[in-house]
A and B are shown apart, each in its own frame.
Chain A
Amino acid sequence: MILTFLSIANTLLCFEVLILLAFLIINGSYTYITLFAFRHLRDSSEAVPDLDRLLALTRSANLRPISIVIPAYNEQVTLVETIHAAIQINYPHYEIVVVNDGSTDETLARLKEAFGLVPIERPDRKAIETEPVRAVYVSERFPKVWVIDKENGGKADALNCGLNYSRYPLFCAIDADSILDPDALLRMGHQFLIDRNLIAAGGSVRVLNGCVVEGSRIKKIRSPRSILTNIQIVEYLRGFMAGRVTLGEYESLLIISGAFGIFRKDLILAIGGYRKTVGEDMDIVLRLHRYCVEQEIKYKVYFIPEPVCWTQVPSDFPSLLRQRNRWQRALVDSIWHNRSMLFNPRYGRAGTLGMPFFLFIELFGPLIEFIGYVGFVLFFIFHMLNPLFALLFFTISILWGMWLNAAAVLLDNFVLHKYESLFDSYRIAILGSLEYLGYRQVLAVERLIATFQVSQTHWGHADRKTIPGRAK
């Protein structure tokens, strides 16, 4: 009996050592990513062309026209504002294709009212099969705005429909609750203009909550009061300013946010458009990697920090849990569907570095975290843990997290200087650190549950808030 107990205790001890090791590897990876991004952004921030130079450069060359596609399902609260913001974009040739994916609310009626839509015949290339299109409209007031009204088929189906109807060689997908910075497309288009091998690029996605919006433009960038939103701001900063910058530099960028990304349309059509999954944004990038490698096409996928798209994040916990549940399912599904890339040197660093990173750090991370918490509690109950050691270790994990958060906020200041007030930056860094006191643990559990719900393909209802500044 005693021997059995000792053997269980030893196994548990070994297990806990492994968990501690995993903790060190995960946090160590994030630290390396942050430090790398730190160095890269410090250098590159000096080489960001100002708007005047960018305009002069792009006027003197042939910028490729862009089709902005906005898929919308029950987006009556925010869609009009999003389109108004897109209309004000500073770019020579672009069109806005809104795909109403069978909304059951007033989305279409509001669009008709706001933009004076008239029905029109517009041929589509029917390159990808989608749910039937009910009608096509064009705006009388803003001729570059088109609305495709179709039967409900999900976000991927709506994006495919947008692909069928879009005219231009570059395809930009944005969310229906997002506001693009006026010069965001210009900064992205500039990269496509110079580099022939660029096939896809993602820009920064920032949190809109708390900002002041006037006339569909962000007038004042502020941090919100809500702790939940501040934590998410830090998460976005860590994810974009540190994670994507570093992965991009290592040619391992496997995800371009669905909220803002530009792709070469011919390649998206060549791979058959978006696959119907909850994580179409990661899946499309992975499939592009695969296609280009298999077809021996020289290619690059960039993350460009300067162009910014502002998006609303969940302001209540249930919505946040639904969102993170979906993200985790999307991650599992995308990695599973493209598992042939994993550890496969044929796919370069995307296969040997990017895929393992997403598998072990992003996908298994919550699992390891959860087991770590449970193990700590069990050890404590069975008096196998030195309380002082536990306390100090817990303090280190919080401090390490705080360090990563503060560094992410500093990174943001290097490049974008978006938060004018120092108070806002400090507030984000400090409130963001509270994620270790409950928030992170709950999300770890939700993500763990989501890992086993991968067969579910629903999106989960998202509560939208009116974008402040043009509230009707």
Chain B
Amino acid sequence: MHTLDMSVFPYLTVALLWVVILVFVVSIVALFISLGLHKRHALARVRQFRQEVDREERALTELLAGGAAHLHEVRHLEEASALGTALTKKLGPTGQTAPTVLEAVRKTGAAAVALAALEAVDWAERYRGICTCGDLRLPELFDPVITFAYAEENMKIFGICLYAGTQLLSEPSHVKVLFDLTASRPDLSTGYCEGMFRNAIQSLQQQGVAPERLNAVLEYCLRDHRADEQHHLALILAIGKERLTSIKDTLVNVARLQNNERLIAATLRSLQSMGLCDPIIGEHIGAPDLMLNIAAIRAAESCGAEIVAPVSEQLASPDFNVRYAAAQTLMHLSAAGHQALLERLHDERPEVRQMATFALAVEPR
């Protein structure tokens, strides 16, 4: 005899399965439709963005030529982003922007739109907001961007904040602010920190700030325990070794005050790169730390005959690399260095004779 449950449940099961099938069919159809709609929408958005960038670029061209063109009022992030992109395309990613252009950008209201995006819960919108802030180049956005960066946890956005900071800075003290910001995040890679440090200095240079004006800031940054050799390298790359000579004393003073072997070695290498002599070089020839000793020996190339004796002594070092560096430096130390090498040809120690012979044979005068 069929009970009620035996009669009903199979039907219920079948009915439920039909409902599930229906749900799947509807959602698959919806997915297919949204696939098409999304593609169409994405293409239209890209096209519209390009058109807006072109329009802003034309207006900027006219503005830069002294024309009476004005930039369009900005109401959405998309428009602010297009304006920023046009500015970057027209003027490059960093550097000086004419006051008339900055004034025109201010009048569009783009800054307020970009800053509002930084409040968004959606991290992609914050990302676009920060990119736009950087691209707009308005110096007054520097402080809000830095404040925002300190509170931002997303690494991708934080990285972009630093870059935006280098686009927005307008005075030497901003380098210090950016340096502190990079130092606040231990998970940020060293390469990126130094890259941004270099970018910041380069950006100031493009705005016509003389290297001497950077002295106080650089002293602050390089005296920090987080600064290392790569910051020196970044400095040389940013300023150029010829112009860096004006801040040589700062570098040397910082190195002396810090008494950090890596930083001293970096300073010695900077001096070598600049081709400048300083007493700090002689002080570290023969240092127990091999890295420091070799850096000092190599930096001695730029010094006079008085450095020949201490360098020549290093030819007797038990370390091959030290002897090698000493031999090479002596070859670059004018006639006195050459003479010292000739004398060492008759040294009683075979390794000294060998290195002197090698240097005289290989190194062209």
Contact = CB atoms under 8 A, between A and B. Distances in A.
Q: Do A and B bind each other?
A: yes
Interface of A: 43-47, 49, 52-53, 56-57, 60-64, 192-197, 298, 386, 388-389, 392-393, 395-396, 399-400, 402-403, 406-407, 409-410, 413-414, 417, 422, 425-426, 429
Interface stretch (B194-202, B262-270, B328-336, B343-351): B194-202
10 contacts: A43-B123, A47-B157, A60-B163, A392-B18, A396-B17, A410-B34, A414-B38, A417-B42, A422-B36, A429-B32
A400 B42 CA distance: 27
B124 A43 contact: yes
B40 to A, nearest CB: 8
B28 A406 contact: yes
Interface stretch (B104-112, B183-191, B216-224): B183-191
A46 B128 contact: yes
Interface in B31-70: 31-32, 34-36, 38-39, 42
B161 to A, nearest CB: 11
Contacts of A56: 88, 93, 163
B229 interface: no
B305 interface: no
Contacts of A399: 21, 24-25, 28
Contacts of B195: 60-62, 193
Contacts of B194: 61-62
A425 B187 contact: no
A16 to B, nearest CB: 14
A130 to B, nearest CB: 29
B235 interface: no
Contacts of A429: 32, 35
Contacts of A298: 187
Contact of B17 (A52, A62, A193, A389): A389
Contact of B189 (A193, A400, A410): A193
B75 interface: no
Interface in B141-160: 155-160
Contacts of A409: 35
Contacts of B199: 60-61
Nearest to B191: A62
Contacts of A392: 14, 17-18, 21
Contacts of A196: 186-190
Interface residues on B, range: 35 or more
B320 interface: no
Interface in B85-136: 88-89, 93-94, 122-125, 127-128, 131
A60 B35 CA distance: 38
B192 A47 contact: no
B170 interface: no
A45 B123 CA distance: 11
A315 B115 CA distance: 52
A43 B126 CA distance: 11
A302 B131 CA distance: 23
Contacts of A386: 10
B25 to A, nearest CB: 7
B189 A192 contact: yes
Count chain B CB atoms within 10 A of each CB in A44, A46, A47, A193 and give the residue with the most. A47
A389 B14 CA distance: 6
Chain B CB count within 10 A is highest, among A193, A386, A414, A426, for A193
B148 to A, nearest CB: 15
B228 to A, nearest CB: 13
Contact of B31 (A60, A393, A396, A407): A407
Nearest to B93: A56
B28 to A, nearest CB: 5
A298 B191 CA distance: 18
B183 to A, nearest CB: 13
A67 to B, nearest CB: 17
Nearest to A398: B24
A388 B18 CA distance: 11
A216 to B, nearest CB: 27
Contacts of B187: 195-197, 298
A111 B186 CA distance: 45
B287 interface: no
Interface string B16-27: 011011001101
